[in-house]
A = this chain, B = another copy of it.
Amino acid sequence: MTYELFYWPTIQGRGEFVRLALEQAGVEYTDVARSEGPELGVSAMLELVERKDLAHPSFAPPFLRDGDLVVGQTANILLYLGSRHGLAPRSERGRLWTHQVQLTIMDLVTEVHDTHHPVSVDLYYEDQKPEAARRAKSLRESRMPKYLQWFERILERNGKTGQRIGRELTYADLSLFQVVEGLNYSFPTAASRALTDAPLVSTLSEAVTQQPRIAAYLESDWRIPFSEDDVFRYYPELDG
């Protein structure tokens, strides 16, 4: 059975955390909203969201269909995929820890999103720029360093590898790479400064890019570039 990923077709967004796991797993998947044909495209995604006979509709994309199972919430999708494709430890303890790190990564992603949308997702960035300036300052000076220092600390404590969160590569490592990429794109000055104090985070991020499947994916046209319609946006006035 081929997985079907449902996510907005023109951005990385939260769907990218799932894409990275699917790519690393080396499994076939249909990126439904990015595909053309019957029962494909954005309309197919919106149709599935609205389908009244779907017992478990998701609040928002991304969601993943595996046969008649539909799973939503990014971290929950990764929980599901992780245990199936060797992207999470087998032990309950290891699985819980990997998931805990993932949930903390998702919290940071939400905080990054809110730097350009501190007031409302229904408004444009241009309609909330003064609020965004204050929120971004807080991210740059307080929150981003705090998160990165936490990631650094957990990598330090995983003495076994130094380049991974756990013993083997997991979806949380892939996600941490994605966040580092996103921070470097959206806050080049502030992220560069904060990462100076988090060398293991940078090392992990670099190590992820050396994974053959991830390397091939990142070099392919299939990887959507960062943009200012996405979660990670580069607005020079918010960096510094």
Q: Which residues of A contact B (CB under 8 A)?
A: 52, 54-59, 69, 71-73, 75-76, 79-80, 93, 96-97, 99-100, 103-104, 107, 110, 114, 118-123, 128, 131, 134-135, 137-138, 142-143, 147, 150, 153-154, 157-158
With both beta carbons as reference points, the residue of chain B lying nearest to A136 in the complex is identified as B119
Q: Which residues of B contact A97 (CB under 8 A)?
A: 56
| Pair B57/A153 contact, Cβ less than 8 Å | yes
Within the complex, the shortest CB–CB distance from A135 to chain B, in Å, comes to 5
**23 residue pairs from A and B, CB less than 8 Å apart:** A52-B157, A54-B157, A55-B158, A57-B150, A58-B100, A59-B104, A59-B147, A69-B93, A69-B96, A71-B100, A72-B100, A73-B103, A110-B110, A114-B118, A118-B118, A119-B135, A120-B137, A120-B142, A121-B142, A121-B143, A122-B142, A131-B131, A131-B134
Q: How far does the alpha carbon of A72 sit from the alpha carbon of B100 in the complex, in Å?
A: 6
Number of copies: 2
Contact B138 A122 (CB under 8 A): yes
Verify A154–B103 contact, CB threshold 8 A. no
Question: Mostly helix, strand, loop or mixed at chain A's interface?
Answer: helix
Contacts of A135 in B (CB 8 A): 118-120
**A80 contact set on B, CB distance < 8 A:** 96
CA distance A77 to B190 in the complex (A): 33
- 8 additional A-B pairs beyond A56-B157, A73-B99, beta carbons within 8 Å, are A56-B97, A57-B157, A73-B103, A76-B100, A79-B96, A103-B103, A118-B119, A119-B135
| A100 to B69 alpha-carbon distance, docked (Å) | 13
Which of B52, B59, B104, B157 meets A73, CB within 8 Å? B104
- Minimum CB–CB distance from A15 to chain B (whole Å) comes to 16
A123 closest partner in B (C-beta): B138
Which B residues are CB-close (under 8 A) to A58?
A: 100
CA–CA, A225 and B99, complex, Å = 31
Q: Is the CB of B128 within 8 A of A134?
A: yes
Of B54, B114, B158, the residue contacting A114 (CB under 8 A) is: B114
What separation, in Å, do the CA atoms of A158 and B57 have in the docked complex? 11
Once A135-B120, A138-B120 are accepted as A-B contacts, the answer to whether A76 and B55 lie under 8 Å apart by CB is no
